[in-house]
Protein backbone atom coordinates (compact mmCIF):
# COMPACT_ATOMS: atom_id res chain seq x y z
CA UNK A 1 0.00 0.00 0.00
CA UNK A 2 1.26 3.46 -0.89
CA UNK A 3 0.69 6.21 1.67
CA UNK A 4 0.39 9.76 0.34
CA UNK A 5 0.54 12.85 2.56
CA UNK A 6 1.27 15.59 0.01
CA UNK A 7 -1.87 16.52 -1.91
CA UNK A 8 0.17 18.48 -4.44
CA UNK A 9 2.14 15.42 -5.53
CA UNK A 10 -0.40 12.63 -5.82
CA UNK A 11 0.19 10.01 -8.53
CA UNK A 12 -2.06 9.47 -11.51
CA UNK A 13 -4.40 6.86 -10.07
CA UNK A 14 -5.61 4.18 -12.47
CA UNK A 15 -9.44 4.24 -12.48
CA UNK A 16 -9.48 5.36 -8.86
CA UNK A 17 -12.20 3.73 -6.78
CA UNK A 18 -12.31 5.91 -3.70
CA UNK A 19 -14.06 6.18 -0.38
CA UNK A 20 -13.67 8.82 2.30
CA UNK A 21 -13.76 8.44 6.06
CA UNK A 22 -11.91 8.36 9.35
CA UNK A 23 -11.90 4.53 9.50
CA UNK A 24 -11.02 4.72 13.18
CA UNK A 25 -10.39 1.20 14.41
CA UNK A 26 -10.62 -0.32 10.92
CA UNK A 27 -13.10 -2.64 12.64
CA UNK A 28 -15.14 -5.57 11.39
CA UNK A 29 -17.93 -3.23 10.29
CA UNK A 30 -15.59 -1.41 7.93
CA UNK A 31 -14.94 -4.61 6.01
CA UNK A 32 -18.19 -4.26 4.05
CA UNK A 33 -16.92 -0.99 2.60
CA UNK A 34 -13.45 -2.39 1.96
CA UNK A 35 -14.96 -5.37 0.15
CA UNK A 36 -17.14 -3.10 -1.96
CA UNK A 37 -14.11 -0.97 -2.76
CA UNK A 38 -12.08 -3.99 -3.81
CA UNK A 39 -14.84 -5.49 -5.94
CA UNK A 40 -15.50 -2.19 -7.73
CA UNK A 41 -11.78 -1.86 -8.46
CA UNK A 42 -11.67 -5.38 -9.90
CA UNK A 43 -14.67 -4.60 -12.11
CA UNK A 44 -13.01 -1.55 -13.67
CA UNK A 45 -9.38 -2.70 -13.50
CA UNK A 46 -8.80 0.17 -11.11
CA UNK A 47 -7.02 0.95 -7.86
CA UNK A 48 -8.52 1.23 -4.39
CA UNK A 49 -8.01 4.62 -2.74
CA UNK A 50 -9.01 5.52 0.80
CA UNK A 51 -9.04 9.19 1.76
CA UNK A 52 -8.72 9.80 5.49
CA UNK A 53 -7.97 12.80 7.68
CA UNK A 54 -5.40 13.67 10.32
CA UNK A 55 -6.08 14.95 12.85
CA UNK A 56 -9.61 13.61 13.32
CA UNK A 57 -12.04 16.33 12.09
CA UNK A 58 -13.71 16.49 15.50
CA UNK A 59 -10.41 17.55 17.06
CA UNK A 60 -10.36 20.63 14.80
CA UNK A 61 -14.06 21.47 14.70
CA UNK A 62 -14.93 20.62 18.32
CA UNK A 63 -11.74 21.03 20.36
CA UNK A 64 -11.87 20.35 24.07
CA UNK A 65 -10.59 18.18 26.92
CA UNK A 66 -13.31 15.57 26.36
CA UNK A 67 -12.59 15.12 22.69
CA UNK A 68 -12.80 11.79 20.92
CA UNK A 69 -10.43 9.03 22.04
CA UNK A 70 -8.95 7.12 19.11
CA UNK A 71 -9.28 3.38 18.64
CA UNK A 72 -6.32 3.57 16.28
CA UNK A 73 -3.56 6.12 15.93
CA UNK A 74 -2.58 7.05 12.39
CA UNK A 75 0.36 4.57 12.22
CA UNK A 76 -1.93 1.81 13.55
CA UNK A 77 -4.61 2.68 11.00
CA UNK A 78 -2.05 2.60 8.20
CA UNK A 79 -0.87 -0.86 9.27
CA UNK A 80 -4.43 -2.25 9.46
CA UNK A 81 -5.44 -0.85 6.06
CA UNK A 82 -2.26 -2.21 4.51
CA UNK A 83 -3.13 -5.62 5.92
CA UNK A 84 -6.55 -5.27 4.29
CA UNK A 85 -4.92 -4.96 0.86
CA UNK A 86 -5.75 -1.33 0.01
CA UNK A 87 -3.68 0.11 -2.88
CA UNK A 88 -3.47 3.76 -1.79
CA UNK A 89 -4.12 5.67 1.43
CA UNK A 90 -4.23 9.44 1.16
CA UNK A 91 -3.84 11.22 4.50
CA UNK A 92 -5.36 14.68 4.21
CA UNK A 93 -4.21 17.28 6.77
CA UNK A 94 -7.52 18.41 8.27
CA UNK A 95 -7.37 22.12 8.99
CA UNK A 96 -9.83 24.91 9.65
CA UNK A 97 -9.15 26.22 6.12
CA UNK A 98 -9.92 22.80 4.61
CA UNK A 99 -13.17 22.63 6.58
CA UNK A 100 -14.21 25.99 5.12
CA UNK A 101 -14.09 24.85 1.48
CA UNK A 102 -17.51 25.19 -0.09
CA UNK A 103 -19.20 21.95 -1.14
CA UNK A 104 -18.52 22.73 -4.80
CA UNK A 105 -14.86 23.58 -4.12
CA UNK A 106 -14.55 20.30 -2.26
CA UNK A 107 -16.04 18.42 -5.18
CA UNK A 108 -14.24 20.19 -8.02
CA UNK A 109 -10.88 21.25 -6.53
CA UNK A 110 -10.39 18.35 -4.14
CA UNK A 111 -12.18 15.20 -5.25
CA UNK A 112 -12.24 15.62 -9.03
CA UNK A 113 -9.04 17.60 -9.63
CA UNK A 114 -6.82 15.54 -7.34
CA UNK A 115 -8.25 12.03 -7.68
CA UNK A 116 -10.06 11.94 -11.05
CA UNK A 117 -12.31 9.25 -9.58
CA UNK A 118 -13.77 6.45 -11.64
CA UNK A 119 -16.04 5.44 -8.74
CA UNK A 120 -16.92 7.11 -5.44
CA UNK A 121 -18.33 4.87 -2.73
CA UNK A 122 -19.89 6.97 0.00
CA UNK A 123 -22.40 6.74 2.85
CA UNK A 124 -25.96 7.92 2.30
CA UNK A 125 -25.47 10.59 5.00
CA UNK A 126 -21.95 11.74 4.06
CA UNK A 127 -21.68 15.53 4.30
CA UNK A 128 -18.86 17.75 3.09
CA UNK A 129 -17.97 21.38 2.54
CA UNK A 130 -18.43 24.41 4.77
CA UNK A 131 -21.24 23.89 7.30
CA UNK A 132 -21.71 20.39 5.82
CA UNK A 133 -23.64 21.93 2.93
CA UNK A 134 -22.78 19.22 0.39
CA UNK A 135 -23.90 15.64 0.26
CA UNK A 136 -25.07 12.75 -1.85
CA UNK A 137 -27.47 14.96 -3.80
CA UNK A 138 -24.63 17.12 -5.17
CA UNK A 139 -22.54 14.08 -6.11
CA UNK A 140 -25.54 12.51 -7.86
CA UNK A 141 -26.25 15.72 -9.78
CA UNK A 142 -22.65 16.10 -10.98
CA UNK A 143 -21.49 12.52 -11.57
CA UNK A 144 -22.30 12.58 -15.27
CA UNK A 145 -20.52 15.90 -15.84
CA UNK A 146 -17.35 14.72 -14.10
CA UNK A 147 -17.51 11.16 -15.33
CA UNK A 148 -17.56 9.20 -12.10
CA UNK A 149 -19.92 6.50 -10.88
CA UNK A 150 -21.52 7.05 -7.49
CA UNK A 151 -22.19 4.08 -5.21
CA UNK A 152 -24.24 4.74 -2.10
CA UNK A 153 -23.56 2.85 1.12
CA UNK A 154 -27.05 2.05 2.45
CA UNK A 155 -28.50 3.59 5.60
CA UNK A 156 -28.49 0.32 7.56
CA UNK A 157 -24.80 -0.29 6.87
CA UNK A 158 -23.85 3.26 7.92
CA UNK A 159 -25.97 2.88 11.05
CA UNK A 160 -24.24 -0.39 11.90
CA UNK A 161 -20.81 1.25 11.42
CA UNK A 162 -21.72 4.08 13.78
CA UNK A 163 -23.14 1.69 16.35
CA UNK A 164 -20.06 -0.52 16.13
CA UNK A 165 -17.60 2.35 16.72
CA UNK A 166 -19.63 3.69 19.64
CA UNK A 167 -20.11 0.23 21.09
CA UNK A 168 -16.39 -0.60 20.81
CA UNK A 169 -15.41 2.57 22.68
CA UNK A 170 -18.07 2.01 25.34
CA UNK A 171 -17.09 -1.65 25.74
CA UNK A 172 -13.42 -0.80 26.25
CA UNK A 173 -14.24 2.00 28.68
CA UNK A 174 -16.32 -0.49 30.70
CA UNK A 175 -13.77 -3.29 30.58
CA UNK A 176 -15.78 -5.51 28.21
CA UNK A 177 -12.71 -6.46 26.19
CA UNK A 178 -14.04 -9.62 24.58
CA UNK A 179 -17.05 -7.80 23.12
CA UNK A 180 -14.81 -5.00 21.81
CA UNK A 181 -12.48 -7.54 20.23
CA UNK A 182 -15.39 -9.31 18.57
CA UNK A 183 -16.59 -6.04 17.03
CA UNK A 184 -13.07 -5.04 16.00
CA UNK A 185 -12.26 -8.41 14.46
CA UNK A 186 -8.91 -8.42 16.29
CA UNK A 187 -7.59 -7.85 19.82
CA UNK A 188 -7.57 -4.20 20.86
CA UNK A 189 -4.03 -2.96 21.31
CA UNK A 190 -2.02 0.03 22.40
CA UNK A 191 1.68 0.83 22.16
CA UNK A 192 4.02 2.72 24.40
CA UNK A 193 7.63 3.26 25.40
CA UNK A 194 8.93 1.52 28.51
CA UNK A 195 9.95 4.20 31.03
CA UNK A 196 11.47 4.09 34.50
CA UNK A 197 9.04 3.72 37.39
CA UNK A 198 9.61 3.48 41.13
CA UNK A 199 10.65 -0.21 40.93
CA UNK A 200 7.90 -1.15 43.42
CA UNK A 201 6.82 -4.14 41.32
CA UNK A 202 10.35 -5.54 41.35
CA UNK A 203 10.41 -5.36 45.17
CA UNK A 204 7.16 -7.33 45.29
CA UNK A 205 8.51 -10.03 42.97
CA UNK A 206 6.54 -8.74 39.99
CA UNK A 207 8.78 -6.49 37.87
CA UNK A 208 6.69 -4.43 35.50
CA UNK A 209 7.25 -2.45 32.33
CA UNK A 210 5.76 1.01 32.80
CA UNK A 211 4.37 2.36 29.54
CA UNK A 212 4.13 5.90 28.22
CA UNK A 213 1.75 6.07 25.28
CA UNK A 214 3.07 7.46 22.01
CA UNK A 215 -0.20 9.31 21.37
CA UNK A 216 -2.23 10.72 24.25
CA UNK A 217 -5.38 10.63 22.12
CA UNK A 218 -5.38 6.81 22.16
CA UNK A 219 -8.26 5.27 24.09
CA UNK A 220 -7.13 3.58 27.31
CA UNK A 221 -9.44 0.78 28.48
CA UNK A 222 -11.12 0.86 31.88
CA UNK A 223 -8.99 0.74 35.01
CA UNK A 224 -8.36 -2.81 36.19
CA UNK A 225 -6.34 -5.96 35.68
CA UNK A 226 -6.13 -7.64 32.26
CA UNK A 227 -4.83 -10.78 30.61
CA UNK A 228 -2.72 -9.53 27.71
CA UNK A 229 -0.19 -10.55 25.10
CA UNK A 230 2.80 -8.33 24.41
CA UNK A 231 4.61 -7.68 21.14
CA UNK A 232 8.29 -6.76 21.07
CA UNK A 233 10.26 -5.83 17.96
CA UNK A 234 12.89 -8.51 18.53
CA UNK A 235 10.45 -11.32 19.41
CA UNK A 236 8.60 -13.10 16.63
CA UNK A 237 5.77 -14.22 18.92
CA UNK A 238 3.50 -12.38 21.32
CA UNK A 239 4.49 -12.93 24.95
CA UNK A 240 1.98 -13.77 27.74
CA UNK A 241 1.55 -11.15 30.45
CA UNK A 242 -0.77 -9.52 32.96
CA UNK A 243 -1.46 -5.78 32.93
CA UNK A 244 -2.63 -3.22 35.46
CA UNK A 245 -4.27 0.06 34.48
CA UNK A 246 -4.93 2.39 37.38
CA UNK A 247 -3.78 4.67 40.17
CA UNK A 248 -2.35 1.96 42.46
CA UNK A 249 -4.85 2.50 45.31
CA UNK A 250 -2.85 0.42 47.83
CA UNK A 251 -0.03 3.00 47.53
CA UNK A 252 -2.39 6.01 47.34
CA UNK A 253 -1.16 6.78 43.83
CA UNK A 254 -2.22 9.96 42.08
CA UNK A 255 -1.20 9.31 38.46
CA UNK A 256 -2.60 6.75 36.04
CA UNK A 257 -0.14 3.92 35.44
CA UNK A 258 0.01 1.38 32.63
CA UNK A 259 2.07 -1.50 34.00
CA UNK A 260 2.77 -4.84 32.33
CA UNK A 261 4.31 -7.92 33.97
CA UNK A 262 5.64 -10.40 31.41
CA UNK A 263 5.77 -13.98 32.63
CA UNK A 264 9.16 -15.68 32.85
CA UNK A 265 10.91 -12.71 31.29
CA UNK A 266 13.99 -10.84 32.51
CA UNK A 267 15.27 -8.72 29.61
CA UNK A 268 15.95 -4.99 30.00
CA UNK A 269 13.12 -3.18 28.18
CA UNK A 270 13.79 0.48 29.05
CA UNK A 271 13.40 2.71 26.02
CA UNK A 272 11.83 -0.03 23.92
CA UNK A 273 8.31 0.07 22.50
CA UNK A 274 5.80 -2.55 23.59
CA UNK A 275 2.50 -3.32 21.93
CA UNK A 276 -0.07 -4.69 24.36
CA UNK A 277 -2.95 -6.78 22.98
CA UNK A 278 -5.92 -7.00 25.35
CA UNK A 279 -7.40 -10.50 25.65
CA UNK A 280 -9.70 -10.35 28.69
CA UNK A 281 -10.60 -8.34 31.77
CA UNK A 282 -9.79 -10.02 35.09
CA UNK A 283 -10.97 -7.68 37.84
CA UNK A 284 -11.35 -4.11 39.07
CA UNK A 285 -8.62 -2.37 41.05
CA UNK A 286 -8.75 -2.90 44.83
CA UNK A 287 -7.10 -1.25 47.81
CA UNK A 288 -5.41 -3.81 50.07
CA UNK A 289 -4.69 -3.45 53.78
CA UNK A 290 -1.07 -4.51 53.44
CA UNK A 291 1.59 -5.57 50.95
CA UNK A 292 1.20 -9.29 51.71
CA UNK A 293 -2.49 -9.21 50.75
CA UNK A 294 -1.59 -7.40 47.52
CA UNK A 295 1.03 -10.02 46.60
CA UNK A 296 -1.42 -12.87 47.28
CA UNK A 297 -3.89 -11.20 44.89
CA UNK A 298 -1.16 -10.62 42.30
CA UNK A 299 -0.38 -14.35 42.45
CA UNK A 300 -4.06 -15.05 41.74
CA UNK A 301 -4.18 -12.51 38.92
CA UNK A 302 -1.14 -14.03 37.25
CA UNK A 303 -2.54 -17.54 37.53
CA UNK A 304 -5.86 -16.39 36.08
CA UNK A 305 -4.16 -14.57 33.22
CA UNK A 306 -2.11 -17.67 32.38
CA UNK A 307 -5.28 -19.76 32.45
CA UNK A 308 -7.09 -17.34 30.11
CA UNK A 309 -4.16 -17.11 27.69
CA UNK A 310 -3.75 -20.88 27.69
CA UNK A 311 -7.27 -21.53 26.42
Q: For 241-294, write each residue's pLDDT tens digit.
A: 999 999 877 777 778 899 999 998 888 889 999 999 999 999 999 888 888 888
- Report the predicted TM-score, pTM, of the whole model to 2 decimal places: 0.89
pLDDT one-digit tens code per residue, 118-176:
999 998 888 999 988 999 999 999 999 999 999 998 888 777 777 788 899 999 999 99
Phi, psi of 185 (to 5 degrees): 90, 5
pLDDT over 90, % of the chain: 68
Long-range residue pairs from 266-270, CB within 8 A, at least 24 positions apart, any chain = 266/207, 269/194, 269/209, 269/232, 270/194, 270/195, 270/196
CATH code of the domain containing 98:
3.40.50.620
pLDDT one-digit tens code per residue, 33-50:
999 999 999 999 999 999
Residues 162 and 193 reside in one and the same domain: no
How far is residue 55's CA from residue 92's CA, in Å, rounded to a whole number? 9
Let me know if residue 175 belongs to a domain. Answer: no
Residues 161 and 286 reside in one and the same domain: no
Tell me, what's the pLDDT at 116? Answer: 96
Domain that holds residue 92: 2-170
Tell me, what's the pLDDT at 67? Answer: 74
Contact at 8 Å (CB) between 81 and 89?
Answer: yes
Let me know if residue 85 belongs to a domain. Answer: yes
Residues 102 and 56 reside in one and the same domain: yes
Amino acid sequence: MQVHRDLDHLPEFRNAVITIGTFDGVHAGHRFILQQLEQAAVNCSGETVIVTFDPHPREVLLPGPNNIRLLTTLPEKIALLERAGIDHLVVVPFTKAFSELSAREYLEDFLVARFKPHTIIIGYDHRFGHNREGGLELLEAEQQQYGFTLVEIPQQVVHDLTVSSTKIRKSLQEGHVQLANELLGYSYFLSGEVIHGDKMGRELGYPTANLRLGDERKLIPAEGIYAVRVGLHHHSQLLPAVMSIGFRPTFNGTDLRLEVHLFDFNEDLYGQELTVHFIDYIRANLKFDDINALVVQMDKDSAQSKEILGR
